[in-house]
Structure 1
């Protein structure tokens, strides 16, 4: 019972003391300290200012050196010049290539022509008698002068084409027939006259006359009398 009584007595004294003291308040941390605020300005005299260290400027990075405008223009001009040079070089190469190919083709064609002519010199000359008779018949058939002259020469061209003689790819029928006649003993002047009358009759602007037919007949007669070497 004694402990309980002592405890009750202590509790009673505490209640009485609290009532005599007044209401209980708790001061927050820092109570009683002066309030924080702007510190008062510090006054520095001239003598004290002289003792202060001089303000050191804050170091800054040096500015980067830029590329001059003239340098960029020069580089651009050189690049354009190099590009134009490459284009010119490519064009020159293509021109040389095409020229070489064309030259090679012409040489091959010329070699083929020479080979054909050399081979033709060794071939047997075809018999021209039937062709000459048909040509003479065409001239004496009474047809129009142009038809008579063209028919006479075409008879010779047909015989030349059927002869199997070597022929260059560049030869026209007229050239081939002329070359075949020159391989015989035919009078070359007569061959040239007959060929010229034929060309004038077929391609000329003037209509042939009976005189042209007579000239063609005379040339044909001369060819017929000389082609075999008589």
Structure 2
């Protein structure tokens, strides 16, 4: 028997949300760093007008507003830092997604099959209490009446066995998929092991008439009647 056993594990939602917010802020900071202008062509001061040469004919020193050299090293360092921060942020985001997916997979509803289940169509070995003894006994009585009512012994034997087959189907047991109705009837009647010989004799008489084409005589009718009486007595 299958029962639905839904087991849900609690997820660390507050911590996960905090980590998501942290990663989002980190990515926003990285994006803002990408918009910082380059440091290369930066002027610290405007170029003032050229000074008047002195009377001594000497050239003046470098002007105050002279362009400073570019700073490519500082720009490269800033770019490397931004790339490293972006990679770290992506790694954190991937780790977080992996943890969330793993937690959701662990929290999925699970089905649990308890022991004691029997496959459909498989004959289960049970005690005699699981078979309706009254139905088998009544069928044996009806089969004896059928033996006496039919004029032809062959028809009488077939009718008697059919009574047992129908009673076995109502006895509370399931027939296996590989079993014929005759085999199933024999299995039910053998729940009481004291009359195995009578069951085999009655089955042989039925099969010889029904499938072998051998006509039965009065001796076969009498043998079938004795077998049915023994089966009735055993199932009292």
TM-score of the superposition, structure 2-length normalised?
Answer: 0.45
Q: Which has a greater percent of helix?
A: 1
TM-score of the superposition, structure 1-length normalised?
Answer: 0.46
Q: Which structure: larger Rg? A: 1
Which one scores higher on RCO, CA 8 angstroms, separation ≥ 6?
2
